[in-house]
Amino acid sequence: MSQLPLEGIRVLDSTYVFALPYAGGQLADLGAEVIKIEGPGRPDVTRTGGYAGTFPENEWGEDWWNRPSTFSLINRGKRSLTLDMTNPKGRDFFRQLVAVSDVVMENFTPRVMRGWELDYPNLRKIRPDIILVSNTGYGHGNGPYSSYPAQATTQEATHGHCWVTGYPGDAPSKAGASFVDFLSTWTAVFAIGAALRYRHQTGQGQWVDIGMYQTGVMFLSEYLMDAAVNGREGGRIGNQHPYRAPQGCYPAQGHDQWITLSVWDDAQWQALCRLMGRDDLAQDPRFATALARRRRHNELDELLRAWTAGFDKYDLMHRLQGAGIPAGPVLTGRDVHFDPHYQARGFLERVSYPPERQMGTRIFMGRPYKLSETPLQIRSPAPAFGQDNGPLLQDLLGMDQASYQQLVQDGIIATTPTSGEPGPITPPQRAVETGAIGEWDPHYREKLDL
């Protein structure tokens, strides 16, 4: 197999929740040795399940902290080290790891790493070419919000995304639960690649300082330009578009089935009319131009809803695409697993756990890109809590057995969290009834050949 792009790079991943942990999982896919560091009394919150995912077969198991789905997805391919960073001894071992690593990732508020004397100026004293990646809500520095804690569930508001998300006359809305987390994921992966390239060229390290509130701004560029140049603030228009019409999400055949489409120009509009068997609409002066169609968007929506509801969403997508009209079905979680294009791209990967983990084989999302010369895959399951304490401290750092056992006794390292509890388990059918999930198939394992 070809050498992986980040083979030989060691990353200390002292991060929690979604954004940078998922970046670490992506780096592991690319060949990096990623060491996830958690405190014995501060396990990653995604280990608890609940809002952070589900447990296999909806059962906690004997080691619930090693089983939740979200933790397993975003921490795949990593090693696990538990280290009490609130203890000076724990921080001393962290410094020893920094000396033999290439990248450090952290997502504490700015005061934490400074207070531990592990901020960038101090890390450079240990290893001058170290790359530090900090991910905070508002970035480091002198800004008035820099010290504020934050999470992605509120960040969309601070970069303007909520202002343009929602329906006309309704309140600002969010796009899902934590959209900005994953923007920070990809920002971090890109920035680490750039910093490694810079180090390769100059021999110097870099501090990557990410402010999550800024990661979403790049997706609002047209609104910012419109406000700056034309004085227009934008607004909430639901699934419509400022210029395209018709555009929206329309019902398809079956219960709660949907398809999206978007018409840009007169040629696409005429093609849509032919598909609908409504050549009269193509000649109707009320809809003859893009501007006229935009002004009568609601009328067109009513016509389209009546038409699209008679078609299977996949069949209609192919018909529309065949006529040159951008369209796509709205996929459910079930659809994604069986969609032929996802399968052809190999996006969903099977990962087998060792027998002692009692997790069997699971399916996880891969990456949204492919490399032609270096095929990528998830290299191993997410680690059990502290599973690499011994190899990392004894083999990598050369610690003797007596010193290692003393760390265990002092609670500086552990293989079982000393705090936390598993999230609640809701029977699947009850979850469907309350709207927590859309559908439950008790035969999913057989259908997915797991």
Instruction: Give backbone dihedrals phi and psi of 252, rounded to 5 degrees, phi first.
Output: -115, 180
**Locate tokens 């101090």: which residue?**
122
Q: Residue 416 and residue 414: Cα distance in Å, rounded?
A: 6
Residue 6: CB atoms within 10 A of its CB come to 22
Are the C-beta atoms of 381 and 51 separated by less than 8 Å?
Answer: no
Q: Residue 216 and residue 441: Cα distance in Å, rounded?
A: 35
What is the CB-side half-sphere exposure of residue 234 using CA atoms within 13 A? 22
C-alpha distances out from residue 212 to 19, 93, 136, 179, 330, Å: 9, 29, 6, 11, 29
Cα dihedral 378, 381, 387, 392 in deg (nearest 10) = 0
Q: Residue 382 and residue 116: Cα distance in Å, rounded?
A: 28
Sequence-distant (≥ 6) Cβ neighbours of residue 25 within 8 angstroms: 34, 73, 74, 75, 76, 77, 78, 382
Helix and strand numbers, DSSP H then E, in the chain: 20, 11
CA nearest to 211, candidates 257, 163, 142: 142
Of 13, 29, 181, 301, catalytic: 181
Q: Residue 182 and residue 192: Cα distance in Å, rounded?
A: 15
Exposed/middle/buried for residue 300 (C-beta within 10 Å: 0-12, 13-18, 19+): buried
> 152-183 burial string, b = 16+ CB within 10 Å, else e?
beebbebbbbbbbbbeeeeeebbeeebbbbbb
Asked about 129 being catalytic, the answer comes back as no
Residue 103: CB atoms within 10 A of its CB come to 26
Residues that are catalytic: 181
